[in-house]
Amino acid sequence: MKRLLVCGVCSAPKPGAVCRPCANRRNQEYKARHATRIKTARAVYKKAKHAALASVRAAKKAAKRATLKHRRLLAKRKWKISNRGAVNASTAQRFAAKLHATPSWANRFFIAEAYDLAARRSAMLDFPWQVDHMVPLRSPLVCGLHVEHNLRVIPGVMNLAKGNRHWPDMPV
């Protein structure tokens, strides 16, 4: 036969060592005695949890950004493969424009030096440098020449942002 347990505090029959009402009362008294300690512990826990979640969110965001960049790169490669004719036509058109924009009096040595400087800076600084035509070779409004006075070596990001839409003394 099983022996019926009784609460050590109030002597009421119970399934464990202390009955539920006595345990609740004891917990409330502990919380009242140690209110500041509990409050600081909760604040520390909350701050640590927030920092941990922030670092996890940042890592997920960086991974997503890298994935999107990679997907864009793959999509661009796929487009170039499936539209080989358009890519070749654009390349040929630029090459022809460059040839026609190079006058006989252009100093080919200085032009070659500009391209060499761009290659050296790219290798040395680990980001791409490009030779920019200050007045673009092909544009709806103006056509420049492929001469040493129209060239400058600038970071690739700046050159791509400029495109063929801006040039010195451009009318507003």
| For residue 2, pLDDT beyond 70 | no
In a domain, 41, yes or no: no
Token match 């490669």: residue? 77
In a domain, 146, yes or no: yes
3-state SS track over the chain: CCCCCECCCCCCECCCCCCHHHHHHHHHHHHHHCHHHHHHHHHHHHHHHHHHHHHHHHHHHHHHHHHHHHHHHHHHHHHHHHCHHHHHHHHHHHHHHHHHCCCCCCCHHHHHHHHHHHHHHHHHHCCCEEEEECCCCCCCCCCCCCCHHHEEEEEHHHHHHHCCCCCCCCCC
pLDDT at 154: 95
In a domain, 112, yes or no: yes
Token match 């997920």: residue? 60
| For residue 125, pLDDT beyond 90 | yes
3-state SS track over 36-63: HHHHHHHHHHHHHHHHHHHHHHHHHHHH
In a domain, 111, yes or no: yes
pLDDT, one tens digit per residue, over 5-15 is: 777 778 777 76
pLDDT at 20: 84
In a domain, 128, yes or no: yes
Polymer length of the chain: 172
Cα separation, 45 vs 52, whole angstroms: 10
In a domain, 120, yes or no: yes
Q: Give the global pTM.
A: 0.48
| For residue 98, pLDDT beyond 90 | no
Higher pLDDT, 63 or 93: 63
pLDDT, one tens digit per residue, over 18-67 is: 788 888 988 999 999 999 999 999 999 999 999 999 999 999 988 888 88
In a domain, 122, yes or no: yes
In a domain, 149, yes or no: yes
Domains identified in the chain, total number: 1
pLDDT at 1: 55
Q: By residue range, what is the domain housing residue 146?
A: 103-162
